């Protein structure tokens, strides 16, 4: 009987200790949210600074499709797409109204991205990723 009570007491103590540890999902933090609109400012905020390992979530608050792309091959103006050396380009595809897209940045540097259907209208944003 004493052994059973001891085992239960240890299990409760371990469970309590584990409950005090940070939740890995919360430890990573909430993503930075960038809203997408049909009129300027198209991306709000247009420019953000984050730390490497943090995520950005783009949310389409407009009434038409939008996108997020760093793929220079898709850009009408090559200056609208840029990434630091060692980074891999990303492309959200078309995001419907109310939809979202998230990306985690691991390589420090400056990223310029654009909305494929609205790049000519000036829908371009910048993310600066710090170490």
| Catalytic residue IDs | 66, 115, 118, 123
Q: Which residue stretches of the chain are H helix?
A: 2-20, 24-27
CA 13-18-20 angle, 5° bins: 100
Cis preceding linkage at 53, omega within 30: no
């Amino acid at each position: 009987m004493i052994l059973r009570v001891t085992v239960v007491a240890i299990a409760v103590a371990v469970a309590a200790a584990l409950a005090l540890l940070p939740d890995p999902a919360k430890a990573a933090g909430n993503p930075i949210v960038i809203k997408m609109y049909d009129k300027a400012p198209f991306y709000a905020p247009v420019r953000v600074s984050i730390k490497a390992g943090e995520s950005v979530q783009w949310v389409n608050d407009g009434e038409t499709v939008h996108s997020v792309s760093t793929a220079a091959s898709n850009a009408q103006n090559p200056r609208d797409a840029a990434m630091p050396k060692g980074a891999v380009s990303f492309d959200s595809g078309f995001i419907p109204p109310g939809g979202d897209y998230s990306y985690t940045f691991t390589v420090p540097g400056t990223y310029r991205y654009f909305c494929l259907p609205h790049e000519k209208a000036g829908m371009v944003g910048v993310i600066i990723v710090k170490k």
